[in-house]
Structure 1
Amino acid sequence: MSRIVYVNGEYLPEEEAKISVFDRGFIFADGIYEVSAVLGGKLVDCEAHLARLERSCGEINLPLPWSRAELVAIHEEMIKRNALDEGGVYLQVTRGAADRDFPFPKDIKPTLVLFTQARNYVNAPTVKTGIKVVTFPDLRWERRDIKSVGLLGQVLAKQFAAEQGANDAWLVEDGVVTEGASATAWIVKGKTLISRPLSNKVLPGITRKAVLAFLAETDFTFEERTFTLEEALDAEEAFITSATAFVMPVTSLDGHTIHNGAPGPTTLRLREIYVDFARKGGVLG
């Protein structure tokens, strides 16, 4: 059975799902995307992802003519039509199709595409082993807080990681870790979690927000600041958070072993709390 894809109001078999070659997302990367996890057939923290979608679209003056309720309904229909139990729903909205010209065209209709991907999040093999991470220069533009479809910098970083036999990359700028290629980067010292402040330098992570909300359930504290690569190499634990990785331990950084090469107790505890949260639908109070 063919996977069903949503394109501009239609639910289509993936081989029939097409957009114009003049779509500005294709020509200029003039678009925004989000990925919401699905666990047990339920969306995880989708409202927060859609709120970030609205913010990103607002930052580039991209009209979003669908209400949040309408977008949730489309997500749920995609889950149903694809019988998705565990995985993700990818949403992309672009400014639309028009003859190639840099300024925004007038009276253009946005393009909306959604598709699903079945994946094993909860019992991914890397949960037991942790992931290997290598560093890569941060080559991206200055508005990293906007979840743009322009991901060439991240593509190059992840390709470099793959060529090094690693699972992912951490981006570094002026000796400071910015974030993961598609995740928030964290280190742990004692009972303190450390991750950099939100700004135009990093994407405001939805899973990051959820983890911080859980700290009241633990004896961990949070220190919001930048950290250097040298500090990360000396950390007791390291991990990443994202909609698709949840809370994932990092056990190797540039070939240097973190926490004796095994997932640490702080990371595993945070992951346990997050998975429980996700199974309940992932909605923060």
Structure 2
Amino acid sequence: MEGLGLIDGKFVGLDEHVVPIEDRGHLFGDGVYEAVVVWGGKPFLVVEHIERMFNSASLIRMELPYTLEELVKFHLQLIEESSFEEALIYSQFTRGVAPRKHPFPLGVKPRLSMTIRPWVRLDSNLKTNGAKAVLLPDERWLKCNIKSLNLLGNVLAKQTATENGCFEAILHRDGYITEGSSSNVFAVKDNVIYTAPTSNKILSGITRGVILKLAQENNLLAKEEVFTTDFLLAADEVFLTGTTTEIMPIVSVNDHTIGDGKVGAISKILHEVYMNKIAKECNL
């Protein structure tokens, strides 16, 4: 099976025509989304992801028509129906279907669509040897704390990174690092871990939060502080975090070597304890 879809609780094939032409997600990108990785047939941190979806929906003044428990159930149904052991579940709510006008339509129910597809982890060589990144100005809107469907700025940044042979685009505003196009950014200097504080300028990543907690549990000092592009380039280590990124060490930014050009000790420690957490919670 290539994958499976679910529209408001009903299974559909991925090739079925199920998006109404006047869905506001289609017309405006008016909606929110989440992505959950399935390990060993279990959705990792699914509750945390759904809670963030509720928060994103609240910030765009959209009341979701399902409970957290119902949304967890939909995830489990997709896993059971597909029989996938390792997969990625993508979920999105749009504001609903209505003729195209900017103001919120009255009496319209938000629409849920979900997909599950087999998931292949990133090339292990990237984790072993490190990846490259490029620095770009952060040209996105100023509500990046909302996981909204409006991702054109992220898409353009990621495409620029791809065209430059890089894994990720690391973004900055006025010389201060915000985040990656699809990841959070960490820098290590003198054994201290730094990442941008939560604000409207970054998405508060689920994996980011886990890594900060794991750092504390393993007696690693982590600070949520702003830092500059110059600080990043002078760091001993740089790594990215994200649901599908996991922990990705960066050994080159703008063709500038980070540290000694090898994956750093702290990146290795955090990757190991993160994978141990996944194994424990998903019974791997």
Measured against the shorter chain, the TM-score band is over 0.9
Q: What root-mean-square deviation, in Å, do the aligned CA atoms of Structure 1 and Structure 2 show? A: 1.6
Any idea what SS the aligned residue of 1:125 has? helix
Q: In the alignment, is the contact (CA less than 8 A) between 1:36 and 1:44 conserved in 2?
A: yes
Deviation of residue 135 (structure 1)? 1.2
Letter in 1 for 2:228: T
What residue is the counterpart of 1:124 in the other structure? 124
Alignment coverage as a number of residue pairs? 283
Give a deviation string over 1:111-134, Cα, whole Å, max 9, x none. 111112322337633111211110
Give a deviation string over 1:168-223, Cα, whole Å, max 9, x none. 10111101111010111000012211001101111111111111111233231012
Q: In the alignment, is the contact (CA less than 8 A) between 1:87 and 1:121 conserved in 2?
A: no
Any idea what SS the aligned residue of 1:280 has? helix
What residue is the counterpart of 1:23 in the other structure? 23
What residue is the counterpart of 1:97 in the other structure? 97
Structure 2: gaps of 5 or more residues: none
What residue is the counterpart of 2:37 in the other structure? 37
Give a deviation string over 1:64-97, Cα, whole Å, max 9, x none. 0111111011111112222222232111100011
Any idea what SS the aligned residue of 2:36 has? strand
Q: In the alignment, is the contact (CA less than 8 A) between 1:215 and 1:221 conserved in 2?
A: yes
Matches within 5 A, 1:80-159: 80-121=80-121, 124-159=124-159
Deviation of residue 2 (structure 1)? 4.4
The alignment-based identity, stated in percent, is 37
TM value normalised by structure 1: 0.95
What residue is the counterpart of 1:210 in the other structure? 210
Q: Does 1:71 align with 2:100?
A: no
In the alignment, the residues of structure 2 paired with residue 68 and residue 17 of structure 1 have an alpha-carbon distance, to the nearest angstrom, of 27
Structure 1 stretch displaced more, 212-221 or 161-170: 212-221
In the alignment, the residues of structure 2 paired with residue 212 and residue 176 of structure 1 have an alpha-carbon distance, to the nearest angstrom, of 20
TM value normalised by structure 2: 0.95
What residue is the counterpart of 1:228 in the other structure? 228
Any idea what SS the aligned residue of 1:14 has? coil
In the alignment, the residues of structure 2 paired with residue 123 and residue 78 of structure 1 have an alpha-carbon distance, to the nearest angstrom, of 26
Deviation of residue 13 (structure 1)? 1.4
Give a deviation string over 1:35-64, Cα, whole Å, max 9, x none. 111111111111111111000000111110
Q: In the alignment, is the contact (CA less than 8 A) between 2:24 and 2:94 conserved in 1?
A: yes
Any idea what SS the aligned residue of 2:144 has? coil
Deviation of residue 280 (structure 1)? 2.5
In the alignment, the residues of structure 1 paired with residue 114 and residue 204 of structure 2 have an alpha-carbon distance, to the nearest angstrom, of 22
